[in-house]
Amino acid sequence: MTDPDHISPKTAPACIGIILDGNRRWATARGLKSWQGHEAGVKKLKEVTSWAIEAGVRHLICYTFSTENWERPKEEVDFLMKIITMAITTEMPWLLEHNVKVTTIGELSRFSKETQDALALIKYRTETHTAITVTLALNYGGRAELVRAINKLRTEKQNLLEPVTEADISGALDTAGLPDPDMVIRTSGEQRLSGFLPWQAVYSELFFPAVLWPDLSKEQFMGLLDEFARRVRRFGA
């Protein structure tokens, strides 16, 4: 049972990482196409964003499309690209009305020009918004991000002849300027991070609810925040 007294801007996590898992299984269980599961997943992200705002969460980092997702059937990948592009256009009024800022992490150059342009537009239109920042991890992989960071530091620090600090690495990552996630939620019950934020999530509290992403309810989401508020974070100590 969720205790509303435990959920407030003082106790809510400032930043939540979410692995949006279970869209395809949700679709299969209903005799639908996989892309229809991804459509349902987009709708759920909108709902979760509104719940997060209500709870006082400041940042969501959402594992939307991984570097490994390119291995899926071409038809599914093509539909995913269309869904991402269409969702940006369709949800623009809602994002503007609710003061939601959208950013991205990952390597976007592999996406079509249409998708890249849509992402650039939504980031530009929402860059001054302050209710919550939703960061979409697109063509993102934790190891690839670390490689990008190392190469960036090689340039900045004369091929790493100068000492490198933790702050240097954090500042060279895709997430530079964002807080580390206080908690990471992976829906579907799978208990692994699959390359999601390996540096940033080192001290995150982990939650693996056995519910497919499109089926996540407000009560379940708030229940996870309630459980987070009850935990004592030790940061490795």
- Look at residue 4 and tell me whether its pLDDT is greater than 80: no
Predicted confidence (pLDDT) per residue in 45-59, tens digit: 999 999 999 999 999
Answer yes or no: is 230 a known binding residue: no
Instruction: Determine whether 69 is an active site residue.
Output: yes
What percent of the chain is predicted at pLDDT more than 70?
Answer: 95
Answer yes or no: is 236 a known binding residue: no
Which of these ranges, 71-85, 121-135, 214-228, has the smallest mean pLDDT?
71-85
**Comparing C-alpha atoms, which of 142, 60, 43 is closest to residue 102?**
60
**Cα separations (Å) of 8 from 3, 99, 175, 221, 226?**
11, 19, 25, 14, 9
Question: Which pLDDT value is given to residue 161?
Answer: 77
Predicted confidence (pLDDT) per residue in 143-180, tens digit: 999 999 999 998 887 767 778 899 999 999 999 999 99
For residue 53 the two structure tokens come to 């705002």
One of 3.40.1180.10, 3.40.920.10, 3.40.50.1970, 3.40.50.970 is the CATH number of 4-141+180-229, namely: 3.40.1180.10
Predicted confidence (pLDDT) per residue in 121-148, tens digit: 999 999 999 999 999 999 999 999 999 9
Answer yes or no: is 38 a known binding residue: yes
What average pLDDT does range 192-217 have in this prediction? 98
| Catalytic residue from among 3, 5, 69, 78 | 69
- Estimate to the nearest angstrom the gap between the alpha carbon of 62 and the chain centroid: 1
What average pLDDT does range 67-79 have in this prediction? 90
Are 181 and 17 spatial neighbours (Cβ–Cβ below 8 Å)?
Answer: yes
Rounded to 5°, angle at Cα 228 from 227 and 229: 90
In what helix (H) or strand (E) does residue 15 lie, and over which residues does it extend?
strand 15-19
* pLDDT band with cut points at 50, 70 and 90 for residue 2: low
Q: What is the mean pLDDT of the chain?
A: 93
Answer yes or no: is 192 a known binding residue: yes
For residue 38 the two structure tokens come to 């991804």
The domain limits of the chain are 4-141+180-229
* pLDDT band with cut points at 50, 70 and 90 for residue 13: very high
* pLDDT band with cut points at 50, 70 and 90 for residue 225: very high
Question: Which pLDDT value is given to residue 47?
Answer: 98
* pLDDT band with cut points at 50, 70 and 90 for residue 190: very high
Answer yes or no: is 23 a known binding residue: yes
Tell if the pTM clears 0.85, that is, is over it. yes
Answer yes or no: is 67 a known binding residue: yes
Instruction: Determine whether 21 is an active site residue.
Output: yes
**What is the C-alpha to C-alpha distance for residues 155 and 153, in angstroms, rounded to an integer?**
5
- Look at residue 5 and tell me whether its pLDDT is greater than 60: no
